[in-house]
Chains A and B, each alone.
Chain A
Amino acid sequence: MDPLLQYSSLIALSPIIAFALISMVPSSRPRLTEWIAVIGVAVSAALSLLILAIEFFGNGSGISPVAYQQQIPFLRFSAGAAVTLGIYVDWLTVVMTAVVSSVSLLIVIYSVGYMHAEGARRKRYFGVISMFVGVMLGLIMANNLFELYIFWELVGLGSYLLIGFWYEKPSAAKAAKKAFVVTRFGDMFLLFGIVLLLSVADHTVMYQALFQPSSVTALKSSGFLTLATLAMFGGAMGKSAQFPLQDWLVDAMEGPTPVSAMIHGATMVNAGVYLVARMYPLYSQAPISALFVSFIGAFTAMFAATMALGTFDIKRVLAFSTISQLGYMFMALGAGAYVLSRQPIGAASYSLGYSAGIFHLMNQAIFKALLFLAAGSVMHSLGGTQDMREMGGLRSKLRITSVTMLFGSLSLAGIIPFSGFFSKDAALEAALGGTAYSPVFLLIWLFGIVGALLTAVYIFRLWFMTFAGKPRYPPEVHVHESPPVMVLPLIVLAVLTLVAGVAVLGVAGFAMAVHYPAVLSPHVSPYAQFNGALGLLGDPATYLSLFLAFAGVGISYSVWGRGRSGSKAVSGAITSRVYSVLVERYYFPQMYDKLGIWIGYGVARGLDFFDSKVVDGIVNGVGRFFIFSSENIRRSETGYVQQYAGAIVLGIVVIAVLLILLPMMGV
């Protein structure tokens, strides 16, 4: 074990400490908070990269599944049941922390420039964003599901605070609320799943104990495994914005652009993917859940891509793209898990889906952050507009931004040799691999392939509309390239998009992430990797998707690429009904609003009415009944003394009757 691992908890703690420090800085000194935030995240990035490097190059091949773990008490229910907090470092953790912290660092640095105009409010911004990064890293490093849930919720809190950063804008406040509530809806299932696991799986949700083949088998035979995994995927659907919980992520664009980059690229949305990857030993024994994950992912991949075609908001296009790309990851993970579940325990050896999912996560983090930051740079230079119809022709003005964004777009579209190509094709290949076991995967693969085409179309639509053609922005806007502190991260990220795929695949064959499912199959070599670039290139399906990617770019170019952004093609399409469906995002926002208003508020109003009229009405009715009877009894006092005498005589009669009756009644 590497001694450095003892300090690995710092990876998560350092941004959180930064947050604590920032909250103590007087708000009159925002500059200081920037420094603290950058340093805090930089420490984690440095530490995680260092650990990655050491583990990878140093004694990489000898690393045990659980490299490091420690814990402190949280709640102890009984002798056998307790939940603790701790950290857990294995390959997945190392990879994820490295990706998250380094991309976050770049985004934080970028923010220093982007948020410059915010003045004293930067304190809040940098404080929260440090916290956000910290809890995301905590989520990754948690050593049990319960702790994961803690950070999971805190990530939600961070997103709430960041999306609602401009809280005085009603739309921002609303979007923040929506993000929180919708993800919480998913989290509810996750919580349910965790409680379920905690209750049935020997009262522990520690990964180490949970993933023992014996405990997984026990879970499986108890019948709760499918339910638990499905429930947990509910959480993942919320956080990773999968159909039908995707809509919040689009609204979340109300936050500052670096926040979007953070949420989409580095942190929040990856949490769902991470969860499924982390729970792989469980998913790979739950075929129904695995299939469900894969199907939802593939469908979302295509579905979101169509919506991306229908929007002119530059950030929203990217948001849909994120949703779509996350779908690919789930598709790959689910397919891999399904295949594994069809193989006997202990002899499973299919790691393509898993590797592809994680690989794509990593690549997506990079190119999505790049795209967002570049988009932010565009907006920054144009003075804030997000509407692509008011852009165009920026290529010459924003040279660096346009080039870096092109890199990002190419990667996203899956053009060789950019990183996105490798991971996306691996994902599609994984889906295709599932067809051997279930015909459903054919459909899934079809979704994926159509999605790939659409991806290329919409991202180049974005690029062409923004940078190509003639300027459509008002002439008085003075367009200028962003400051170096913003441009530098762009360049770094662009380089990464170019090299990451080749490097990882070439150097390591993406071995590191493959390790994980080996827990389930101790007999198989932990390095049962997929065959790297060569394997991919040897497959005809790859060429199909590559062709589709190029075709997509071509379509884009033909429609938007020749400076005809406001052209007939667009205006014609905009009138068409299909297009309006896309613009309205398949009416999902309306549906959510209706749902919120009808189910949430409507039922609430109904219940409130019921509460005040019926339940409280009965209470008040009892009171009124007493008043009523009081009035009647009162009226019996007529003031006529003879009536009183009569009452006495009547009383005598009644008592006499009582005396006769009571023995009869047996009293």
Chain B
Amino acid sequence: MLLISLMILLPVVGFALLLAMRSDLARNRLTAALFSGVPLALSAYMLIAFNYGNPGYQFTEHYTWISTSYFTISYAVGVDGIALPMVFLTSLVSFLVVIFSWDVKHRCNQYFGMLLLVEAGVMGVFTTTNYFIFYIFWEIVLVPMYFIILIWGSQRRVYSATKFFIYTHASSLVMLLSFFALYFEYHSLFPSRPFTFSITKISQVSPLFPALFQEIVFLGLFFGFIVKMPVFPFHTWLPDAHTDAPTGGSVMLASLLLKMGSYGIIRIAVPALPYGAKYFEYVILVLAVISILYGAWVSMAQRDMKRMIANSSISHMGLVLLAIAAAVFTLNPKTGYINTLGISVADFQMFAHGLITAVLFMSAGVVQHHAGTRDMKSLGGLARKMPTLATMMMAGFLASLGMPGMIGFAAEFSVFYVTFLSFGLLLIIPILTVVITAGYYLWSMQRTIFGADSGSVDFSGIHDSEWFEWIPMLVLILIIVAFGIAPWLMFNPINIAAAHYYSSMAGALR
């Protein structure tokens, strides 16, 4: 089965083609749509063909890439229940972003090419089962994203792009070192077995790693991942990058790139170093809680709409980390037992946030595009001029603040549930976010789409969003609502897979 490889390769081919093409909007965007549309179709097929009863990896592929006596790297990909929502999210959001960017005229061939390359990288991160390939894709994502911010960004794009690049690159290098540590430790623990970068093989023996090793290496991995998520206090690249990126870039960044960090934690950091995670459980918890409240609270102070949404992402990704902390808390060092519910919930919240935040950034992009500013203080009364946009934006905001009937609520509730299971009454602190989030979203709606014109923006020539702007949003909202009404459709496979994926820990100790 070449399914996954195709999903990774097609965007790369598209990228190469687009770079080779001339800058011709009509043809470029069709090419981009094609090369991101086919992966979407493939992932839709995957949703159908996926065996939901099988908790393990499916559609696996395995090729040896580099092989020497001491260094073996294999290209290995596969999808299980944990990766499935992420894969779907990636192909969906990428395609919708291409559609949304239908009218980007400036250096359009490169723009679409970069978008496709980001898609390929993210897809690779979510599907690979090899540490090394994981890192490669992880890094590949940085370069096109950097260019997207740099070339098509707004005012402070140079600063933001550079900051993004340096910050995340530094963290990923630390992560890489930790991978190496795992690689060698595995071999020195089992000299009879060959060196391996296989995520699954290392996870299968992880509880046997010595305690100090786990603690140190976990710290490295954790740092690498939480910078990407991002988590307080390593989050400051995010508002800048999101704010200055073009809309398509912001969407990719928020919907997909942030998920790479949390995905890394649940796929790698915790299973590979369970006691390291256990050792730092309170660190994880505290960082998560701070991120949740801090991100939300800082959002409230923002005037720039995108900046507000970016900060809210910090808050929502904090919920992901909170769920992870809840799972780690249940880990029993003696038996290797872990209640993986937190892991599943984290994955689910990632999926939810990926869908929702795309709508948010798209709506901010439309506002920017049509009204010419994102400054909420100078906006106002947009709903009368742009009813479609206002509807979409409101739906997105409501989804983000956890309105039932939309996927955000199911995810948020699950997070609170697992938090209570692990931490009990401590839940009262993170749950405050429910109010703060509602506060800043509603306030920003009051300032932008409701009320009267502020008078500082000329609304005379303004018109409602274009078809290529609202259709992607509508599609996302429909999916948000669909999974909001029946979240079990996505949650059950995640849950089964997470339990299976982590079961090896107990097995190793037996």
- A-to-B contact residues, CB < 8 Å: 73-78, 146, 149-151, 153-154, 157, 160, 164, 167-170, 172-174, 176-177, 180-181, 184-185, 187-188, 191-192, 195-196, 198-199, 227, 596, 600-601, 603-605, 607-608, 611-612, 615-616, 618-619, 623
Q: Which of B232, B384, B404 has the most CB of A within 10 A?
A: B404
**Which 10 residue pairs are nearest across A and B when measured between Cβ atoms?**
A604-B300, A173-B450, A150-B404, A608-B301, A604-B301, A616-B236, A167-B450, A177-B442, A170-B451, A173-B446
**Alpha-carbon distance A75/B403, docked complex (angstroms):** 16
Do residues B301 and A180 form an inter-chain contact, with CB atoms below 8 A?
A: no
Check if B421 is an interface residue, CB within 8 A of chain A: yes
Do residues A195 and B427 form an inter-chain contact, with CB atoms below 8 A?
A: yes
Extra 4 A-B pairs, beta carbons < 8 Å, given A149-B413, A611-B236: A74-B486, A168-B383, A173-B446, A616-B236
Q: List 17 A-B contacts (CB under 8 A).
A: A75-B487, A153-B409, A160-B442, A167-B383, A167-B450, A173-B446, A176-B442, A180-B442, A185-B435, A191-B413, A191-B431, A196-B420, A196-B425, A596-B439, A604-B301, A615-B236, A619-B163
**Alpha-carbon distance A259/B158, docked complex (angstroms):** 51
Residue of A195, A608, A615 near B233 (CB, 8 A) is A615
**Alpha-carbon distance A566/B488, docked complex (angstroms):** 63
Residues of A within 8 A of B420 (CB): 195-196, 198-199
**Alpha-carbon distance A619/B384, docked complex (angstroms):** 42
Closest approach, in angstroms, between the C-beta of A199 and any C-beta of chain B?
Answer: 5
Within B345-403, which residues are at the interface with A (CB < 8 Å)?
Answer: 381, 383-384, 398, 402-403
Within B290-322, which residues are at the interface with A (CB < 8 Å)?
Answer: 294, 297-302
Within B440-462, which residues are at the interface with A (CB < 8 Å)?
Answer: 440, 442-443, 445-446, 449-452
Given contacts A615-B236, A616-B236, contact A75 B488 (CB under 8 A): yes
Do residues A607 and B492 form an inter-chain contact, with CB atoms below 8 A?
A: no
Residues of B within 8 A of A154 (CB): 403-405
Closest approach, in angstroms, between the C-beta of B452 and any C-beta of chain A?
Answer: 6
**Alpha-carbon distance A623/B237, docked complex (angstroms):** 13
Closest approach, in angstroms, between the C-beta of A617 and any C-beta of chain B?
Answer: 9
Q: Which of B294, B419, B420 has the most CB of A within 10 A?
A: B420
Do residues B431 and A192 form an inter-chain contact, with CB atoms below 8 A?
A: yes
Closest approach, in angstroms, between the C-beta of B481 and any C-beta of chain A?
Answer: 11
Residues of B within 8 A of A77 (CB): 341, 414, 417-418, 495
**Alpha-carbon distance A605/B414, docked complex (angstroms):** 31
Do residues A146 and B413 form an inter-chain contact, with CB atoms below 8 A?
A: yes
Given contacts A188-B432, A605-B301, contact A619 B417 (CB under 8 A): no
**Alpha-carbon distance A153/B404, docked complex (angstroms):** 6
Do residues A608 and B302 form an inter-chain contact, with CB atoms below 8 A?
A: yes
Do residues A150 and B301 form an inter-chain contact, with CB atoms below 8 A?
A: no
**Alpha-carbon distance A181/B442, docked complex (angstroms):** 8
Do residues A74 and B410 form an inter-chain contact, with CB atoms below 8 A?
A: yes
Nearest opposing residue in chain B for A146, CB measure: B413
Check if B438 is an interface residue, CB within 8 A of chain A: yes
Residues of B within 8 A of A607 (CB): 294, 297-298, 301
Do residues B301 and A168 form an inter-chain contact, with CB atoms below 8 A?
A: no
Check if B416 is an interface residue, CB within 8 A of chain A: yes
Do residues A195 and B297 form an inter-chain contact, with CB atoms below 8 A?
A: no
- B-to-A contact residues, CB < 8 Å: 163, 166-167, 232-233, 235-237, 294, 297-302, 341, 381, 383-384, 398, 402-405, 409-410, 413-414, 416-421, 425, 427-428, 431-432, 434-436, 438-440, 442-443, 445-446, 449-452, 486-488, 491-492, 495
Closest approach, in angstroms, between the C-beta of A191 and any C-beta of chain B?
Answer: 6
Counting residue pairs across A and B whose Cβ atoms lie within 8 Å, the total is 145
Residues of B within 8 A of A618 (CB): 233
Do residues A76 and B434 form an inter-chain contact, with CB atoms below 8 A?
A: no
Do residues B488 and A76 form an inter-chain contact, with CB atoms below 8 A?
A: yes
Closest approach, in angstroms, between the C-beta of B184 and any C-beta of chain A?
Answer: 21
**Alpha-carbon distance A436/B416, docked complex (angstroms):** 41
Residues of B within 8 A of A146 (CB): 413
Given contacts A177-B443, A188-B431, contact A199 B236 (CB under 8 A): no
Do residues B450 and A188 form an inter-chain contact, with CB atoms below 8 A?
A: no
Q: Which of B294, B341, B446 has the most CB of A within 10 A?
A: B446
Do residues B298 and A604 form an inter-chain contact, with CB atoms below 8 A?
A: yes
Closest approach, in angstroms, between the C-beta of B397 and any C-beta of chain A?
Answer: 11
Nearest opposing residue in chain B for A151, CB measure: B404
**Alpha-carbon distance A199/B342, docked complex (angstroms):** 14
Do residues B439 and A600 form an inter-chain contact, with CB atoms below 8 A?
A: yes
**Alpha-carbon distance A192/B415, docked complex (angstroms):** 12
Do residues A168 and B435 form an inter-chain contact, with CB atoms below 8 A?
A: no
Residues of B within 8 A of A174 (CB): 446
Closest approach, in angstroms, between the C-beta of B109 and any C-beta of chain A?
Answer: 33
Residues of B within 8 A of A74 (CB): 410, 486-488
Residues of A within 8 A of B300 (CB): 600-601, 604
Residues of A within 8 A of B237 (CB): 619
**Alpha-carbon distance A73/B490, docked complex (angstroms):** 12
Residues of A within 8 A of B299 (CB): 604
**Alpha-carbon distance A157/B402, docked complex (angstroms):** 11
**Alpha-carbon distance A181/B401, docked complex (angstroms):** 11
**Alpha-carbon distance A108/B492, docked complex (angstroms):** 41
Do residues A191 and B434 form an inter-chain contact, with CB atoms below 8 A?
A: yes
Closest approach, in angstroms, between the C-beta of B205 and any C-beta of chain A?
Answer: 26
Residues of A within 8 A of B428 (CB): 192
Do residues A167 and B451 form an inter-chain contact, with CB atoms below 8 A?
A: yes
Closest approach, in angstroms, between the C-beta of B156 and any C-beta of chain A?
Answer: 12
Nearest opposing residue in chain A for B447, CB measure: A173
**Alpha-carbon distance A600/B383, docked complex (angstroms):** 26
Closest approach, in angstroms, between the C-beta of B501 and any C-beta of chain A?
Answer: 15
Do residues B167 and A619 form an inter-chain contact, with CB atoms below 8 A?
A: yes
**Alpha-carbon distance A612/B298, docked complex (angstroms):** 10
Residues of B within 8 A of A199 (CB): 417, 420-421
Nearest opposing residue in chain B for A77, CB measure: B341
Closest approach, in angstroms, between the C-beta of B272 and any C-beta of chain A?
Answer: 24
**Alpha-carbon distance A423/B319, docked complex (angstroms):** 46
Closest approach, in angstroms, between the C-beta of B188 and any C-beta of chain A?
Answer: 22
Residues of A within 8 A of B488 (CB): 73-76
**Alpha-carbon distance A198/B404, docked complex (angstroms):** 17
**Alpha-carbon distance A612/B243, docked complex (angstroms):** 14
Residues of A within 8 A of B405 (CB): 150, 154
Residues of B within 8 A of A172 (CB): 450
Residue of A168, A191, A198 near B451 (CB, 8 A) is A168
Nearest opposing residue in chain A for B345, CB measure: A77
Closest approach, in angstroms, between the C-beta of B347 and any C-beta of chain A?
Answer: 13
Q: Which of B232, B425, B438, B445 has the most CB of A within 10 A?
A: B438
**Alpha-carbon distance A192/B427, docked complex (angstroms):** 8
Closest approach, in angstroms, between the C-beta of A348 and any C-beta of chain B?
Answer: 29
Residues of B within 8 A of A605 (CB): 301
Given contacts A601-B301, A619-B167, contact A75 B442 (CB under 8 A): no
**Alpha-carbon distance A612/B419, docked complex (angstroms):** 30
Nearest opposing residue in chain A for B303, CB measure: A608
Residues of A within 8 A of B486 (CB): 73-74
Residues of A within 8 A of B451 (CB): 167-170, 173
**Alpha-carbon distance A42/B180, docked complex (angstroms):** 69
**Alpha-carbon distance A192/B424, docked complex (angstroms):** 10
Residues of A within 8 A of B301 (CB): 601, 604-605, 607-608
Do residues B450 and A75 form an inter-chain contact, with CB atoms below 8 A?
A: no
Residues of A within 8 A of B232 (CB): 615
Residues of A within 8 A of B167 (CB): 619
**Alpha-carbon distance A157/B301, docked complex (angstroms):** 24
Closest approach, in angstroms, between the C-beta of B487 and any C-beta of chain A?
Answer: 5
Closest approach, in angstroms, between the C-beta of B395 and any C-beta of chain A?
Answer: 11
Do residues B438 and A608 form an inter-chain contact, with CB atoms below 8 A?
A: no
Closest approach, in angstroms, between the C-beta of A185 and any C-beta of chain B?
Answer: 5
Residue of B294, B297, B425, B446 near A177 (CB, 8 A) is B446
Residues of A within 8 A of B404 (CB): 149-151, 153-154
Q: Which of A74, A174, A227 has the most CB of B within 10 A?
A: A74
Residues of B within 8 A of A198 (CB): 417, 420
**Alpha-carbon distance A180/B420, docked complex (angstroms):** 25
Do residues A78 and B233 form an inter-chain contact, with CB atoms below 8 A?
A: no
**Alpha-carbon distance A611/B435, docked complex (angstroms):** 21
